[in-house]
Chains A and B, each alone.
Chain A
Amino acid sequence: MWVYEKKLEYPVKIKKADPKLAKIIITQYGGPDGELGAAIRYLSQRFTMVTPQAKAILNDIGTEVPVLHMETKNFCSCHSICSMENPGIDIGPIVLWERKKCPVVGNKLRPASMRLPYKRLFAHCPPIVAALLTSS
């Protein structure tokens, strides 16, 4: 099982609010190469491992990498979006803060739509999209 400690493994510093990048970071939770899939893969593969080393590594990486990455990504994306004075774009899959005050900065946000259109992702960050397309 897992234990929550009220601290981060590594401090997160948001140098600059970048909601466009935040939207791309959010897409890395799900999908075939996302953190959620990675967590489940590591933790399922450990059951079939034979050596003690391999069992331990998959258990520990399945714990550390995806779960902590998710917390950090979640933290980064929320902060980036919430730090905006006036979001000029829809805020993608984040609906948590919809019509609520953000606990971090206190800004009110616009209602969010659920999906990030691929066209806009293309426009913002071609290398990432290219990488996604070649990997699928």
Chain B
Amino acid sequence: MDRENTLKQLTMLDFMATDLALYLDSHPHDKIAIEEYNKIVGEADIIRQKYEHLYGPLCSYRSHCNGDWKWIDDPWTWEEEFNFTASKEAFK
């Protein structure tokens, strides 16, 4: 459940960052949006590090690897126990 919650938080923050980034493409001088973007990216960085430290890498060539190569480990994004349970929680 902890993994799901961490993943959910990270997914939410990344979604907001993606959305703000698209907005900033056409509004590059919007100081309020930039401030919000920086805040979200900062929070997402912390949670991303926490997630990777506890549950394995999110990227195959940017994440640190301690011990075995955990990239190949289940679950993958399309498997039930990955996003499926997280999304059930998210939609409650």
* Residues of chain A having any CB pair with chain B under 8 Å: 3-14, 52-53, 56-57, 60-61, 64, 71, 74-75, 78-79, 103-105
The residues of A that contact B80 with a CB separation of less than 8 Å are 104-105
**Those of B1-50 within 8 Å (CB) of chain A:** 7-8, 10-11, 14-15, 18, 21-22, 25-26, 28
* Residues of chain B having any CB pair with chain A under 8 Å: 7-8, 10-11, 14-15, 18, 21-22, 25-26, 28, 56-60, 62, 71, 76-80, 82-84, 86-88, 90-91
Chain A nearest CB, measured from B85 CB (Å)? 9
Is there an interface contact between A64 and B11, defined as CB atoms closer than 8 Å? no
The 4 closest A-B pairs by CB, nearest first: A11-B87, A56-B25, A13-B87, A57-B25
The residues of B that contact A13 with a CB separation of less than 8 Å are 84, 87-88, 90-91
Is there an interface contact between A64 and B18, defined as CB atoms closer than 8 Å? yes
Chain B nearest CB, measured from A94 CB (Å)? 13
Give Cα distance in the complex from A11 to B18, angstroms.
Answer: 15
Choose among B11, B22, B28, B90 the residue that contacts A7 (Cβ–Cβ < 8 A): B11
Chain A nearest CB, measured from B82 CB (Å)? 8
